[in-house]
Amino acid sequence: MEISKKINEMKWKLEMSKYKYWWHYFLAVNESTGEERPFFIQYYVVNPEGSAFEPKFSEPSYAMVRAGTWENGGVQVNNFYGGNYFNIKNYVKEYQIFIGHCTVSENYLKGNVYLGENCAEKHNEFMSNCGEFSWELEKKNRIPYNVENNIISIASSLERFNTEFIGNIKYNGQEYKVIQGRSNGYEMKVFMNADFGFWVNMNCNSFKSELKEKVDANLNLIGLSPIILKKELNKEFSVVLNLEGKEYKYSNRVLGSGRISDFSCDEDDKKVTVYLEAINDSSKIQIFFQDEKENMMKLIYKGLCQQHSILNFWNSGCAKGFVKLYEKSDNSYILRYHLKGSMANFISYIE
């Protein structure tokens, strides 16, 4: 009964939101060279009822599957479909989403994308490089990032998971293996009914102490400000740090979760930097991550309204930085952990 209820709730979210996507990030190892590389796979749908067999970019109305990796400024390959190629199927224990020949569920994802060089050059509306990706992955040990503390408003609903991926991905003919315990995996489901003037999402599962010893920790930060009736709402933040079996959470929206005392997402000619400081009754956290633009890529989306027709996001797959965690003692906060983070996935958009 509980499973059926969850399936119906998810189906309602998928059908009622104007656009939705399912983001996956993970590390994989080249089976020939041993090289470790980050990848992402995104299943994305916007207003599918507005198109049939061909995507409409002006409205917009389409389904899209996007896969990419960070190499020489980033490679992303996007394939587009009309709304008729987007389907939701309910099974006994889960639902599955189909976009063309690609599929994704709570337990599994499979598909491939391809775009030739001539086609990529001629069609700017595809917002794509040329290349080919194919994948078949299982999801294991999915741990939600404090679902009750996720940002939920009249404009958005988000679900975030620390996830182990197992399987294979092929990139331009090169075979990569996704190994359990080494995938550094993260996934996020987004259901939106509006554009936004601000967005930042960051996840890091790779931390070391100042002595360069590996630390059992993962961090997720999300912030956004939806635009409703042409007015940008206040910025909402949610931060969750799981550290050696203990959860630390901060939010400026959920009562009892403290406050965000400082935040910046800055861009200059060479790099993008994210900084956040938050505090609650028992602890304080400082987060700093950045990446060079030459290592990052731009993700481009069509906005829902003419006012925001094109949305450009900076996307990093290997950001570095630190987390400082302070715990309260009497009336002061004492530094307990200074963690060095690497291979972080962060996506930022500031209007």
Side chain identity, residue 315: N
206, pLDDT greater than 80: yes
- Asked whether residue 169 falls in the same domain as residue 269, the answer is no
- Asked whether residue 98 falls in the same domain as residue 172, the answer is yes
The Cα 348–Cα 319 span in angstroms is 12
Q: Supply the Cα-derived Rg of the chain in whole angstroms.
A: 20
The predicted model gives 183-203 an average pLDDT of 84
Q: For residue 93, give the DSSP letter.
A: S
Weakest mean pLDDT among 124-138, 143-157, 227-241: 143-157
The predicted model gives 205-217 an average pLDDT of 93
Q: What is the CATH number of the domain that holds 348?
A: 2.40.370
Specify the residue for token string 């590996």. 214
Taking only the tens place, the pLDDT of each residue in 224-271 is 887 777 777 778 888 999 999 899 989 876 555 678 889 998 989 999
Q: Which residues, listed in sequence order, are joined to residue 36 by a DSSP beta bridge? A: 29
Residue 256 burial class via C-beta count within 10 angstroms: exposed 0-12, middle 13-18, buried 19 and up:
exposed
Weakest mean pLDDT among 271-275, 310-314, 323-327: 310-314
The Cα 145–Cα 179 span in angstroms is 22
Q: Provide the phi-psi class of 246: left if phi over 0, else alpha when psi is between -120 and 50, else beta.
A: beta
The predicted model gives 61-82 an average pLDDT of 89
- Asked whether residue 349 falls in the same domain as residue 208, the answer is yes
- Asked whether residue 89 falls in the same domain as residue 200, the answer is no
- Domain boundary among the residues 193, 208, 236 is at 193
The Cα 74–Cα 127 span in angstroms is 13
The Cα 141–Cα 184 span in angstroms is 12
What pLDDT does residue 107 have?
A: 92
113, pLDDT greater than 90: yes
- Asked whether residue 114 falls in the same domain as residue 158, the answer is yes
**Local confidence band at 47 (pLDDT 50, 70, 90 cut-offs):** confident
What pLDDT does residue 1 have?
A: 40
Range of 152's domain? Answer: 1-193
Residue 329 structure tokens: 């003692």
- Asked whether residue 138 falls in the same domain as residue 265, the answer is no
What pLDDT does residue 8 have?
A: 53
Q: Are strands 217-228 and 259-267 parallel, antiparallel or unpaired?
A: unpaired
**Local confidence band at 148 (pLDDT 50, 70, 90 cut-offs):** very low
Specify the residue for token string 């003419």. 306
- Asked whether residue 186 falls in the same domain as residue 264, the answer is no
Q: Which residue has the higher pLDDT, 192 or 250?
A: 250
The predicted model gives 187-216 an average pLDDT of 87
The Cα 212–Cα 340 span in angstroms is 8
- Asked whether residue 16 falls in the same domain as residue 155, the answer is yes
Number of domains in the chain: 2
Q: Which residues, listed in sequence order, are joined to residue 199 by a DSSP beta bridge? A: 224, 349
Q: For residue 235, give the DSSP letter.
A: P
What pLDDT does residue 309 have?
A: 58
State the CB neighbour count (10 A cutoff) for residue 13.
14
The Cα 348–Cα 325 span in angstroms is 23
279, pLDDT greater than 80: yes
Q: How far is CA 104 from the centre of its chain?
A: 15
Query: Is the model's pTM score more than 0.85?
Result: yes
- Domain boundary among the residues 193, 221, 246 is at 193
Residue 235 burial class via C-beta count within 10 angstroms: exposed 0-12, middle 13-18, buried 19 and up:
middle
- Domain boundary among the residues 149, 172, 193 is at 193
149, pLDDT greater than 50: no
Weakest mean pLDDT among 36-40, 118-122, 200-204, 210-214: 118-122
Q: What is the CATH number of the domain that holds 19?
A: 2.40.370.10
- Asked whether residue 203 falls in the same domain as residue 96, the answer is no
- Asked whether residue 185 falls in the same domain as residue 239, the answer is no
The predicted model gives 173-196 an average pLDDT of 87
- Asked whether residue 212 falls in the same domain as residue 165, the answer is no
Query: What element of type H or E holds 68?
Result: strand 62-69
- Asked whether residue 168 falls in the same domain as residue 247, the answer is no
Taking only the tens place, the pLDDT of each residue in 293-318 is 999 988 877 666 545 556 778 899 99
111, pLDDT greater than 90: yes
Q: Which residues, listed in sequence order, are joined to residue 238 by a DSSP beta bridge? A: 222, 251
